[in-house]
Amino acid sequence: MVLIKSKKEIDYIRESCQIVAEVLQLLKRYAKIGVTTIELDKIAEDYILSNNSRPAFKGYSQAGSFDFPGSICSSVDDEVVHGIPGKRVLKDGEILSIDVGVEKNGYFGDAALSVAIGTISKEKQMLMDITERSLYLGIDQAVQGNRMGDVSSAVQNEVERNGFSIVRDLCGHGCGKHLHEDPQIPNYGRKGSGVAIKNGMTLAIEPMVNMGTYKVFVADDGWTVYTADGSPSAHFEHTIAIIDNKPEILTKC
């Protein structure tokens, strides 16, 4: 069931989303050569707790895996999403995807971005640029009267016309009263299909784009998703609200 939020509820969601946005910008500054992903996780957790909120990912459970141990997801190069923070040292030329979720006053925000570590190749930079652009093109379609397929189609078309692959096994989702809500928001699809977009919806749109095949697999840890062919991947995400018939980005700094 798709949950429609009141103005007051959206204000609470917006507060959580602003903390998410601030954490992402903070981590973007600290994500450098020689830094470990667990160091970034500690920075994020400290900032979230200092804002009287909690890391939404820490302790999150899903079937077939242990509770997620980190406050962020940190995914490097061929790790698409859900990378577990640890002792891995960031190296020159890598792409790091940082995904952050926050819960405050019972409401959630969720967003992600990808950052270049040191100097990356032109191909990796293009991968990041197209992934981010596809996110905003998808958000542009999130207007009252459209359907989720309009969002999905806009993302897919931008990705594939530039020679990249959209991950099909993972998707965006509703977000607000819960970290993950209906509806699911695939990053590929047909215009005019899917759930109708309405005022009061709060949605997390998140293209995950691979340089090679769209196929992925889950590691033995039950969380980390890798590209099937070892190619690099990029990931960008915003939580938005549909207000006065159009999308407002809640996780924008």
What number is the average pLDDT over the span 141-164? 98
pLDDT in tens, 110-142: 999 999 999 999 999 999 999 999 999 999 999
Q: How confident is the model at residue 42 (pLDDT cuts 50, 70, 90)?
A: very high
Check whether 33 has a pLDDT greater than 80. Answer: yes
CB contact at 8 A, 202 and 189: no
Check whether 59 has a pLDDT greater than 90. Answer: yes
The yes/no answer on whether domain 7-249 falls in CATH 3.90.1150.10 is no
CB contact at 8 A, 215 and 227: yes
Q: What pLDDT was estimated at residue 168?
A: 97
Q: What pLDDT was estimated at residue 63?
A: 75
Q: How confident is the model at residue 171 (pLDDT cuts 50, 70, 90)?
A: very high
Q: Residues of 184-204 as b/e, b for ≥16 C-beta within 10 angstroms?
A: ebbbbbeeeebeebeebbbbb
At position 52, the amino acid (one-letter code) is N
Between 65 and 151, where is the model more confident?
Answer: 151
pTM: 0.97
Q: What pLDDT was estimated at residue 65?
A: 79
Check whether 159 has a pLDDT greater than 80. Answer: yes
Asked, as a colleague might, if the bond just before 183 is cis with ω within 30 of 0, I would say: yes
Q: What percent of the chain has pLDDT over 70?
A: 100
CB contact at 8 A, 109 and 63: no
Q: What pLDDT was estimated at residue 172?
A: 98
Q: What pLDDT was estimated at residue 64?
A: 73
At position 105, the amino acid (one-letter code) is N
Residues 6+ apart with CB under 8 A from 159: 130, 131, 134, 165, 166, 187, 207, 209
Q: What pLDDT was estimated at residue 117?
A: 98
- State the DSSP string of the chain: -BPPPPHHHHHHHHHHHHHHHHHHHHHHHH--TT-BHHHHHHHHHHHHHHTT-EESSTT---TTSPPP--SEEEEETTEEE-PPPSSPBP-TT-EEEEEEEEEETTEEEEEEEEEE-SS--HHHHHHHHHHHHHHHHHHHT--TT-BHHHHHHHHHHHHHHTT-EE-SS--EEE-SSSSSEEEEE-SS--TT-SSBP-TT-EEEE--EEESS-S-EEE-TTSS-EEETT---EEE-BEEEEEETTEEEESS--
Q: What pLDDT was estimated at residue 84?
A: 98
Q: How confident is the model at residue 14 (pLDDT cuts 50, 70, 90)?
A: very high
Q: How confident is the model at residue 228 (pLDDT cuts 50, 70, 90)?
A: very high
